Amino acid sequence: MRGSGPLEGTVAIEGAKNSVLKLMAASLICDGRFVLRNVPRIVDVEIMSDLLTSMGATVRRTEDHVLTIDVGDDITPEAPYELVERMRASIVVLGALLARNGYARVALPGGDNFGPRPIDMHIAGLEALGVRFDAAHGYIEARCDNLVGTRVVLEFPSVGATENLLMAAVRAKGTTTIDNAAREPEIADLCAFLTRMGARIVGGGTSTIEIEGVDELAPVDHTVIPDRIEAGTFLAAVGVAGGEVTLQGARADHMDMLIRKLGEMGMRVSPSSDGLWVQAKGRLDAVDVSTLPYPGIATDYKPFFVAMLAVAEGVGIVTENLFSGRFRYVDELVRMGADIRTEGHHAVVRGRPRLSGAPVRAPDIRAGAALVIAALAADGETVVSDASHIARGYEDFAGKLRSVGADVT
């Protein structure tokens, strides 16, 4: 790809990857036909489909963005290593399988590009609900006679732990309270999905969620919320390349902090009748950014900020508070001429007017997208290898950028 801009036009924002994967897992809770709408065409959805299929469910794309999941009474409650290794989010089948039949065997996810990502909070929370765990041969086996509601206080508002607990608690006896729960919009979407199935949940999307267990749940038809991270990616693309773009379907109320920060940098972002309108003129101003659990600035946005700051006016400090080792792509940006120093959890980014196209490697989904964004402000050609990472979380990323005028194939 080559330096491009200004970007002009409309981009459609797909359904949220980090919601749909959990909703697919939640379908394992009861038998019947689930219909999910606004499902993006991305590789992670295929991996989750493979996982559900390996357990005995039938997953079909019945229309372009519609997924139908048929769950029968012959589900094998096991998540094999080959699939968990391909996608760490597979761990959320744990809570769903326990709710279904009190047993699950799930391969332990390894560390990945973001450094170690333990599941101790998932396990401690489920143990409090009465689940017993054994680990052997790289698998954990979870079993319980009865799930029993209780109060769980999470040490940290972990997205995955909150989701596993929610899915188990909907079938527990009595009331479960999750304190210090994650508040991400994707959690609220999962609560809406479970509630539609017949669960009794109060407080989804807040830090205290109360779940009263029920005996029976039924399959549902549900439309996935828009992907705030995909939307944030295109906002950053406009920030780097300049221009005026409408993000069709994006929800401003899921991106308050991000929109405020982009405003401080000199961008104009406002809700429009069909989504979000964004405009950027000239170089952005540098700001400091710190990642936090929702409603803070998402860790997933961080590589986009680093890319924007690399060509902004001034110096910005980016601080990572969620994952260790999430700065690997910085070396790649430096190869493109960016002036970035990292020190522990911080990156100090000194903006330059332009970057310089170079061959670079995408280390993961978001960092890969950030390299593409940076290339919009680079002279000459940039080749991003390992770009398959990007397809795990973005539907037709290059095509969408092309449709607003970027020179990318």
Q: Which residues bind ligand EPU (CB under 6 A)?
A: 17-18, 21, 89, 117-122, 156, 158-161, 182, 298-300, 322-323, 365-366, 393
Contact 38, 250 (CB under 8 A): no
Amino acid at 11: V
Distances in Å between the Cα of 197 and the Cα atoms of 38, 171, 176, 217, 340 are 18, 12, 18, 5, 48
Nearer to ligand EPU, 283 or 366 (CB): 366
Cβ proximity to ligand EPU, 119 vs 191, nearer residue:
119
Query: DSSP label at 108?
Result: P
Please indicate whether residue 179 is annotated as part of the active site. no
DSSP for residue 305: H
Separation of alpha carbons 47 and 38, rounded Å? 17
**Shorter beta-carbon distance to ligand EPU: residue 122 or 283:** 122
Q: How far is CA 171 from the centre of its chain?
A: 26
Residue (286 or 289) nearer to ligand EPU, CB: 289
CB of 125 to ligand EPU, least distance (A): 8
Please, which residue, 98 or 311, has the CB nearer to ligand EPU?
98
φ, ψ at 222 (rounded to 5°): -140, 140
Smallest distance, ligand EPU to C-beta of residue 321, A? 9
> Given the complex with ligand EPU, which of 180 and 246 has the nearer CB atom?
180
d(CA 100, CA 34): 15
Least CB distance to ligand EPU at residue 92 (A) = 8
DSSP codes, 250-282: --GGG-HHHHHHHHHTT-EEEEETTEEEEEE-S
Specify the amino acid at residue 94. Answer: L
What is the smallest separation between the CB atom of 154 and ligand EPU, expressed in angstroms?
Answer: 9
From the candidates 31, 70, 112, 339, give the one annotated as an active-site residue.
112
Rounded-to-10 torsion of CA 41, 44, 45, 50: 130
CA neighbours within 13 Å on the CB side: how many for 120? 5
CA distances from 300 to 96, 119, 258, 393 (A): 26, 19, 11, 12
Min dist. Cβ of residue 160 to ligand EPU (A): 3
Instruction: Report how far residue 312's alpha carbon sits from residue 48's, in angstroms, rounded to the nearest whole number.
Output: 38
- Residue 57 CB, nearest distance to ligand EPU (Å)? 19
- DSSP string computed for 122-161: HHHHHHHTT-EEEEETTEEEEE-S--B--EEE-SS--HHH
Shortest distance (Å) from residue 71 CB to ligand EPU: 21
Closer residue to ligand EPU (CB): 77 or 393: 393
By beta-carbon proximity to ligand EPU, the closer residue of 176 and 233 is 233
**Minimum separation from the CB atom of position 30 to ligand EPU (A):** 22
CA–CA dist 14, 254 (Å, integer): 14
Longest CA span, the chain? 63
Residues in Cβ contact with 64 at an 8 Å cutoff, skipping those fewer than 6 apart: 41
Q: How many degrees, rounded to 5, is the angle at CA 392 between CA 390 and CA 398?
A: 40
| 24 within 8 A of 210, measured Cβ to Cβ | no
Strands 243-248 and 275-280: antiparallel
Q: Which residues are catalytic?
A: 112
